[in-house]
Every structure is written in structure tokens, then in C-alpha cells.
Amino acid sequence: MNIPSLSCKIEMFCTINPSESIEKIEQAISNIFPYSIINNNNFSINAQSKELRSFEKIYQFIHNNNLQKNYLRSLEDNLQDDTTWFYLNKQAAFVEQIAICEESNESPLGPIKVILTSSNIDAIIDWIVYD
């Protein structure tokens, strides 16, 4: 895998349900996005990274499981200007698994929303699904 040197911002957001442990949700995000800075306010968690290498695990998962079309569809459907986004299942992330959600209600405790922003967003999408 060759990570392009493109500037980007990767943001992750999710709500914290009363039955959930903040630490477990932070761990779920760290499992998938190891180079992110995580903040919480007791009701939600937001994390971000400016390093495209934070996307390594998702990239590997997409290519190892031939899921390029699924992710391309999601990234293109949600593309607006220089930003795109998709949902990940929060429980799957906790056990270091990656599961994309088409709709937010597919993740029973709510998804992790992943937002990618870059002036080179098309090149980043191409790298994620075609490289």
C-alpha cells in the first residue's frame, strides 16, 4: 500500500448512549483510526486526524475483501464539494472489525460517522477504492 501525500482531514463523530462506556467507544475509534486525537463531552465523541495513514485499516479491509464498489458508492453518494462521508458500525469497530452502514439505524447503538475533507477529495477516493 502506497499512501499518497495528500492533505486531508478525517473526522469521526458518534453519540454516547447512556448504556455505553465512553472508554469502549474511544477504543472502538482507536481500533480503526489509530492516529486520531479523540475528545468527548459525555454525550458524544469526536475525533480527528490530518494523516491519511489513519485510513490504513479501512483501506486494507476494502481491498482484502473486494469491497471497492460498496465504498465507492457510499463515498460518491455522499460527496459534496470537497467533503464526503460514510457510517461505520460502532460495535464492529470495538472488536476491530469494519462494517459500513448504508443508513444510521443499521448500527443499533448508533454509527460512527466518518467525514473526509480535502481539496483533493477525488484523488483520495480514487486511492481508497482503486489503488
| Cα–Cα distance for residue pair 130/31, rounded to 1 Å | 24
Q: At what angle do helices 56-64 and 22-32 cross, to 10 degrees?
A: 70
Angle at Cα 111 formed by Cα 67 and Cα 24, nearest 5°?
110
How many independent structural domains does the chain possess?
1
Mean pLDDT of 9-36: 93
**Separation between Cα atoms, residue 27 and residue 110, nearest integer Å:** 16
| Cβ burial, residue 88 (10 Å; 0-12/13-18/19+) | buried
Distances (CA, A) of 85 to 22, 23, 41, 79, 80: 23, 24, 22, 7, 9
Q: Is residue 1 part of a domain?
A: no
For 78-125, write each residue's pLDDT tens digit. 999 999 999 999 999 999 999 888 888 888 889 999 999 999 999 999
Q: How confident is the model at residue 130 (pLDDT cuts 50, 70, 90)?
A: confident
What's the CATH code of the domain at 15? 3.30.1440.10
pTM of the entire predicted model: 0.91
H/E stretch holding 64 reads helix 56-64
Q: Which residues contact 127 (CB under 8 A, 6 or more apart)?
A: 3, 4, 6, 52, 59
Range of the domain at 98: 9-130
